[in-house]
Chain A
Amino acid sequence: GENVEQHPSTLSVQEGDSAVIKCTYSDSASNYFPWYKQELGKRPQLIIDIRSNVGEKKDQRIAVTLNKTAKHFSLHITETQPEDSAVYFCAASKFGNEKLTFGTGTRLTIIP
């Protein structure tokens, strides 16, 4: 089955700086890669996703890049703000298939 590894497990970044979280996956047939944000005590929420037919996707301060050959994808947050502090999860699946494998999460702390 699919295995998703996520690094780092914790990340502290000065406010205004950039943060990068990296994930690798094992199943070359996976073609859908979402990122979820979970604030303390709350439910995970989708913040951005990418399909394997594109290499990069941006949404304001958030971007995701995908390298299919190396089987890794990354989340980039620029101009970080205190409200970016949360746990971030990457995941992988085959498009249209509900079987979703998550990484172990990254706790991001933005230092004011």
Chain B
Amino acid sequence: EAQVTQNPRYLITVTGKKLTVTCSQNMNHEYMSWYRQDPGLGLRQIYYSMNVEVTDKGDVPEGYKVSRKEKRNFPLILESPSPNQTSLYFCASSLSGLEQFFGPGTRPTVL
């Protein structure tokens, strides 16, 4: 089944404790992105990648890191999480930069 998976789906952590959210797609898509969704603010792009080893900042990259070492994986790293990074995070992939296929979402709570 063609899909985008994210892990973990939920977690609770504390300020400053490094957090990695994994994202994997099995559709051989070139493009991958990370978004955060907050009430009243919609979906905001954090980072995107147009190919392996090619990443670029979206609209809200501060406090996040990404890497694209393999085509199928695009992990999101919160080096030192803060409470304002409590949000709903979506990974997405697309074949040509058009239709985005979203993962199920990850909801970390940073205390």
Q: Which residues of A contact B (CB under 8 A)?
A: 1, 6, 9, 32, 34, 36, 43-46, 49, 89, 91, 93, 95-105
Contacts and interface: CB of A to CB of B under 8 A. Distances in A.
Interface of B: 31-33, 35, 40-45, 48-50, 56, 58-59, 90, 94, 96-100, 102-105
What DSSP secondary structure best describes chain B's contact surface?
strand
A102 B102 contact: no
A103 B40 CA distance: 10
Given A34-B99, A96-B97, A98-B94, A43 B59 contact: no
Given A43-B90, A43-B102, A99-B58, A105 B33 contact: no
Nearest to B56: A99
Contacts of A1: 59
10 contacts: A6-B42, A34-B99, A44-B100, A95-B98, A96-B96, A98-B32, A98-B48, A99-B56, A99-B58, A101-B59
